[in-house]
Amino acid sequence: MIRRTPLLVSLCLAPLAVLALRAQQTAAPRPYDAARETRLEWFRDGKYGMFIHWGLYAIPAGEWKGQRSLGLGEWIMNRSNVPVAEYEQLATEFNPVKFNPDEWVQLAQDAGMKYIVITSKHHDGFAMFKSAASKFNVVDATPYKRDVLKALADACAKRGMRLGFYYSQSQDWHEKDGAGNTWDFGPDTAPDGKTELKKYDDYLRAKAEPQVKELLTGYGQVALIWFDTPRMMTPARGQRFADIVRQTQPNTLIDGRLGTEGDYRSTGDNVIPPEASTEAWESPATINDTWGFRKDDTNWKSPGQIAFKLVDIVSKGGNYLLNVGPTAEGVIPQASADVLRTVGRWLKANGEAVYGAGVSPFGEEFGEWSSKNAKDVRGQKLFLANNEWRVTTKPGKLYFTFFSEPRAAFEIPAIRNKLLRAYRLADKAPIALKTENGRTTFTMERPMLDPMATVVVVEFEGQKVEK
């Protein structure tokens, strides 16, 4: 049963992922915007964030009335067509007595993550914060009666962790005029796909816009608002949210799924583009195959897989926003915490190659487009990825991260700068550089110091790589 989940999940997400990937590949670079670049400084340096999908859906945890509900945990209301009146009852059971915000922040810090983004309201419409705009919130509708976002915001402030809020601006299955709930309230649009059948602006003005304002006024400095699935979000509607953000907290970042221009690009879920970009971007990703907790999903990625994805993303100029799905009791599953802490220990020794690091000056290491015009499972041109090594940069330094032992001496791709010296990052052990016929190689001690990923620093003359 569990083995089927990845396929199902990929099928649910494929259309969005494809669209986002296409946008990533084809969008022209945006004009330089000094204010935006200043807002983005911490984001570009941080590289690695914790996504948290937590809400009422953690109670059914993938099963509705004894039936396994297929797809993502947080989509259970939609997948099982649960009527609003029935779904609302979950709130009367929500009592996360084991929720300890300090422990969550500690975990993010141990993992080496530099920001947290938590679901403040997902598509089910339930607010995980006290809201005057809707009684369907954690304080007014649950026996727990406490504002979990406030508790997390306080813990983050105390521990110097940046906090952002996911907010589903468009889909709201609890509201008759929000997008997405077709089983209670009928289709959002007429068969032409354009004519709106709901009073969508009424919903936006009565709930979504005021709630975003609440998030920006009651929880201290908000690092970013993570909007999602911009169905029916015209640029004008998106702009109303952007104005609220800019007028309330000018330094708060807006992700790439608002429906109008944000501060950075968001890829599709679990999508890592094949090429580097100097424009800020972020890949939201699951640690197993769901975002919201499902009791049957234990398909955890290994620490090695995560370390690879992180360095791969950084070498292409992006950020990795990696999700955990806490249980209804408020516990981040131990298995996911263990994986994160293992990567965190690797980052303690090797973080210099990640935080604040620049993109690869090469690109050949990413792989290549299929020369046979083959298509991938999404019908896109097939990219044959190569996962042996990646490179990141800082002034005067190249960081070569190896994910498997090079089978021969490693040849440094040609650059004009003089190469000065090489050493392993984790223990500073020197590595001899050998130059013959204008080609420089080094040979790493075997077995590799860290079989998961070993970083070799190559220092060169000058600040920037000259090719």
Binding residues with ligand FHN: total (CB under 6 A): 10
Query: Applying CB under 6 A, which part among 72-80, 127-135, 391-399, 453-461 lies near ligand FHN?
Result: 72-80
* Residue with smaller CB distance to ligand FHN, 214 or 228: 228
The nearer residue to ligand FHN, 75 or 403, going by C-beta atoms, is 75
Calpha distance 299→59 (Å, rounded): 20
| Residue 115: CB minimum distance to ligand FHN, A | 15
Residues in 220-249 that interact with ligand FHN by CB under 6 A: 228-229
Tell me the H-state helices in 171-280: 182-185, 200-203, 209-217, 235-248
Touching ligand FHN, residues 265-304 (CB under 6 A): 269, 284, 291
Instruction: Tell whether omega for the bond before 29 is within 30 degrees of 0, i.e. cis.
Output: no
Q: Does 71 bind ligand FHN (CB under 6 A)?
A: no
The footprint of ligand FHN on residues 383-412 (CB under 6 A) is: none
Q: How does DSSP classify residue 174?
A: T
Candidate ranges 71-79, 108-116, 238-246, 298-306; the one touching ligand FHN (CB under 6 A): 71-79
Which of residues 152 and 426 has its CB atom nearest to ligand FHN in the complex? Answer: 152
Instruction: Read off the DSSP letter of residue 51.
Output: E
Q: C-beta of 241: minimal distance to ligand FHN in Å?
A: 17
Nearest to 223 by CA among 266, 164, 166: 164
Q: Give the residue nearest to ligand FHN (CB).
A: 284
Residues 6-65 that bind ligand FHN (CB under 6 A): 13, 16
Q: Which is nearer to ligand FHN, 96 or 292 (CB)?
A: 292
Q: C-alpha distances in angstroms, 233 versus 182, 198, 210, 374, 393?
A: 18, 13, 16, 35, 38
Helix (H) or strand (E) holding 430: strand 430-431
To ligand FHN, the closest distance from the beta carbon of 268 in angstroms equals: 7
Of 67-75, 157-165, 390-398, 458-466, which part binds ligand FHN (CB under 6 A)? 67-75
CB 391 within 8 A of CB 362: yes
Phi and psi, residue 267, nearest 5°: -80, 175
Indicate the residue among 13 and 307 with the shorter CB distance to ligand FHN.
13
Q: Are strands 265-266 and 281-286 parallel, antiparallel or unpaired?
A: parallel
Of the residues 46, 58, 59, 74, which one makes contact with ligand FHN according to CB under 6 A = 74
Q: Would you state the structure tokens that stand for residue 339, as one six-digit string?
A: 């994986």
Q: Kindly report the number of other CB atoms within 10 A of residue 257's CB atom.
A: 22
Distance CA 69, CA 87 (A): 14
Contact 55, 119 (CB under 8 A): yes
Q: By C-beta, is 79 or 394 nearer to ligand FHN? A: 79
Cα–Cα distance between 220 and 249 in angstroms, integer? 10
Give least dist CB 216 to ligand FHN, A: 20
CB of 207 to ligand FHN, least distance (A): 18
Bridging pattern class, strands 454-460 and 397-402: antiparallel
For residue 385, report the phi and psi dihedrals to the nearest 5 degrees.
-75, 145
Give min distance, CB of 11 to ligand FHN, in A.
Answer: 13
When the beta carbons of 13 and 138 are compared against ligand FHN, the nearer one is 13
Region of 69-77, 181-189, 213-221, 431-439 interacting with ligand FHN (CB under 6 A): 69-77
Residues that bind ligand FHN (CB under 6 A): 13, 16, 72, 74-75, 228-229, 269, 284, 291
